[in-house]
Chains A and B, each alone.
Chain A
Amino acid sequence: MPKILILLFHPFLEKSKANQMLLDSVPVSESITLRDLYEIYPNFTIDVKLEQKLLMEHDVILFQHPFYWYSCPPLMKQWIDFVLEDGWAYGKNGNFLKDKKWIQTITTGGTELAYSKEGFHGHLMEEFLLPFRRTAELCKMDYQSPFLLQGTFQLKEGEFQKESIRYRNFLLFLLGANHG
């Protein structure tokens, strides 16, 4: 069974119903490690060696974060800057992340429609996520399409339940994917 590392980056998790719901949907499994990085590094001093060790021990790296200003929250950027070192994640001999899966679970306030050519933001999510895709590629990782939970401000109780099941199945699929 592939091992999944969920890296949660949310500065105000207590205020985000959508992200809490997503976390509640994560199946209980010994193959899944969940790390709440704003809780672990409240003052942004990241333990690079520990993070790298955890990355090496897992096959799927899943970043769960809200979409802030067309990008990730600052601690996740900090994490990328510090943990993905030259000579380790990329560059000469930088093969430690080779063939691991890079997946993002992203919540956006705007709806799917807002992220379209004709929509409010005028670009597809895919386009906004290009820097992450390129980062994964540089690290020789296997970039996967993100799991998107959009229009979170307008979600109703029933829809939350639906989305919860969708996320659970998504993770279960990942757990089984390499299995057979």
Chain B
Amino acid sequence: MGEVNFFLQAMIYLTSAIIMVPIANRLGLGSVLGYLVAGIVIGPFVFGFVGTEGKDLLHFAEFGVVMMLFAIGLELELNLLWRLKFWLLGLGGLQLLLTTVFVFLFSIGFQFSWKSSLALGFILSLSSTAIVLQTLKEKGLMKSVSGQASFSILLFQDMAVIPILAIFPMLSEGEQISNDHGHSLVDHLPAYQKTIVVLFVVIGIILIGRYLLSPLFRMIAKSGSREIFTGASLLLVIAISVLMGSVGVSAALGTFLAGVVLASSEFRHELESNIEPFKGLLLGLFFLSVGASMDIPVVMSNPTKIIGIVFGIIFLKAIVLLLLGFLFKLPLDQNLYMSLALSQVGEFSFVLFGYSEGLGIFDKETIVILVACVALSMAFTPILLLLYEKTIFEALQSKLPKKQSNQTVQKEENPVIICGFGRFGNMVGRFLRSNGIGITILDYDADRVEMLGRFGFKVFFGDATRIELLESAGLEHAKVLIAALDHPEKQQELIRNVKHHYPNLNIVARAGDREEAYELKEMGLSYIYRETRETAVKLGGDVLKILGTRSFTAERAKNLFLTHDDETFHELFALRKDRVQYISLAKQRNSELERLMFVDVGKEDELELDSWSEMERM
């Protein structure tokens, strides 16, 4: 019975998401709004398909937020933080501070206690990373000034969640209701000891991440099983959540830290793409359950109050951001966009509200109203942005001279991605790198990745045939993809995937022999390189020299041979299905080549036709 119920629930959730999200996307409102509305629709107050378990589900779905923080941590390489330090600390820090102060003052005015006011300030100053990053990515604005400013602020907020979670117990009003998780091992300890335990756990995670996880993943990777690697990625996130939960700290803090520690490891992209689908689904579930647990009657009974609070929050946050935008000299159009984009309250507020309920910071009624307000502020974001884009943004855009920022806030943005760093990819990589070309390298051999890492190559572990992995390695910014995988089937799978998703990207590919080259040509590639061809001809040239041919003559002979071989390749390609014609043409072309080369080196009198034409590998 329970199982049937579970699957029925899953069906309802998935169906509603599948219906609502595409509609929201089509309307330009973004998927988050779709999830929220879907949640409301299936919730107890509209159709009532789901309901009682909404709150429990929310706890489970919070795991999506935890995973999001892990993914954000993974993207946080120290040099990115360093590059963004000015905006991160300046814009992000001031935004958080000013919004918190204003909300604090307002709440005091509404007769909240100073502790609740401060907590509310912190909660409302956060914006929704999920909504804003999703919107920026969907609209291709990540690289714009507003995109970078937004990213910096969100990053700062996400990091600030961690100290905020630590501060919250201090804001407790004393009448602490026992946490509904109730598993915390440190509840009985006095506050300072709790802090010490937390500190130990955090340091432990950093040390383990630094010195234990990479070798461990390397070992798992060597097993060559992708499922196990995905399992290990999930296990890591879950294990940290449990560990953190057991010492009474947020799971988000732990996974975020683990992410940061792993950001510089070679497994970064593989972890990211493993977590990605789970993260996406769980975040969707999270927003669904927020929608489902939204108390519609409460909203309906106090419409003016709630609408007032929602727009009050949006207005306040937008004004603070706008002022900071002026202070940091953002162009007006970009500044307005950023201010509106970040004006909602973020998903962490749900987590924090839940947490503060347990701590007795707010009473239940207040939380119900505030949660509804937060959800509404999220729902309004895409609508506001759409309105803004259709009116002011377009007008301003046409007036202002186009300014492209040259600063970049992306992960890997190299123009070249090399898939497969074996004997072939390795040489290509070294050549390009010595010419100052930025390359991102992916390889599925854990030993090799580790070894190359020691040589100072930045090689990421992962299966390059997976488009998500390529994307997290920066495929959309790449100009050239070098396909140099050893296995012909893998190589073809990679090329098929990339051609399908990015038809305009330049693909240059390694082929083992003529047959493989034909297959790649059949897939529509025009840059195909038989890996042994050049080397073999070079070897032949050196043999000519050893036998007394002068260098320049040998050089000419090599070039003539290669040019002729290229031409023959294309001619033979057309005939490869017809063996009889193929062999006849191959023989004919070979004797032509012999004649040509004998004439070139002045040995036409020594020419014996048809002597070795049969040797060509068919």
Alpha-carbon distance between A26 and B555 when the two chains are bound, in angstroms = 27
Within 8 A of B (CB), among A25-50: 38-40, 42-43
Q: Which chain A residues border B163 with CB–CB below 8 Å?
A: none
CB <8 Å contact, B552 and A39: yes
CB <8 Å contact, A14 and B553: yes
Q: How large is the interface on A (under 10, 10 to 19, 20 to 34, 35 or more residues)?
A: 10 to 19
Task: Name the residue in B552, B553, B554 with the highest tally of chain A Cβ atoms < 10 Å from its Cβ.
Answer: B552
Q: Which chain A residues border B550 with CB–CB below 8 Å?
A: 13-14, 38-39
CB <8 Å contact, A15 and B552: no
Q: Which chain A residues border B551 with CB–CB below 8 Å?
A: 38-40, 42
Q: How far is the CB of A18 from chain B (nearest CB, A)?
A: 16
Q: Which chain A residues border B552 with CB–CB below 8 Å?
A: 11, 38-39, 42
Chain B residues with a Cβ under 8 A of chain A: 550-555, 602
Q: Which chain A residues border B555 with CB–CB below 8 Å?
A: 42-43
Apart from A14-B602, A38-B551, A39-B551, what 9 extra A-B contacts exist at CB < 8 Å? A11-B552, A14-B550, A15-B602, A38-B550, A38-B552, A39-B552, A42-B551, A42-B555, A43-B555
Q: How far is the CB of A47 from chain B (nearest CB, A)?
A: 14
Q: Which chain A residues border B602 with CB–CB below 8 Å?
A: 14-15
A-B contact pairs, 10 of them (CB 8 A): A11-B552, A14-B550, A14-B553, A38-B551, A38-B552, A39-B550, A39-B552, A42-B551, A42-B552, A42-B555
Alpha-carbon distance between A14 and B600 when the two chains are bound, in angstroms = 12
Alpha-carbon distance between A39 and B548 when the two chains are bound, in angstroms = 11
Q: Which chain A residues border B553 with CB–CB below 8 Å?
A: 12, 14
Alpha-carbon distance between A61 and B553 when the two chains are bound, in angstroms = 26
Question: Which listed residue, A13, A15, A40, A42, touches B554 by the CB 8 Å rule?
Answer: A42
Alpha-carbon distance between A39 and B602 when the two chains are bound, in angstroms = 18
Q: How far is the CB of B434 from chain A (nearest CB, A)?
A: 15
Q: Mark A126-150, 1 if CB is under 8 A from B, else 0.
A: 0000000000000000000000000
Alpha-carbon distance between A38 and B551 when the two chains are bound, in angstroms = 7
- Which A residue sits closest to B602, measured CB to CB? A15
Alpha-carbon distance between A43 and B555 when the two chains are bound, in angstroms = 7
Alpha-carbon distance between A15 and B554 when the two chains are bound, in angstroms = 14
Alpha-carbon distance between A39 and B545 when the two chains are bound, in angstroms = 10
Q: How far is the CB of A141 from chain B (nearest CB, A)?
A: 27
Alpha-carbon distance between A43 and B554 when the two chains are bound, in angstroms = 10
Alpha-carbon distance between A65 and B487 when the two chains are bound, in angstroms = 52
Q: Which chain B residues border A38 with CB–CB below 8 Å?
A: 550-552
- Which A residue sits closest to B549, measured CB to CB? A14
Q: How far is the CB of A120 from chain B (nearest CB, A)?
A: 26
- Which A residue sits closest to B559, measured CB to CB? A43
Alpha-carbon distance between A15 and B602 when the two chains are bound, in angstroms = 8
Q: Which chain B residues border A40 with CB–CB below 8 Å?
A: 551
Alpha-carbon distance between A39 and B552 when the two chains are bound, in angstroms = 6
Alpha-carbon distance between A14 and B602 when the two chains are bound, in angstroms = 10
Q: Which chain B residues border A43 with CB–CB below 8 Å?
A: 555
Top 8 closest pairs, chain A to chain B, by CB:
A42-B551, A42-B555, A38-B552, A42-B552, A39-B551, A11-B552, A43-B555, A14-B550
Alpha-carbon distance between A43 and B602 when the two chains are bound, in angstroms = 20
Alpha-carbon distance between A160 and B552 when the two chains are bound, in angstroms = 26
Alpha-carbon distance between A12 and B599 when the two chains are bound, in angstroms = 13
Q: How far is the CB of A13 from chain B (nearest CB, A)?
A: 6
Q: Mark A46-86, 1 if CB is under 8 A from B, else 0.
A: 00000000000000000000000000000000000000000
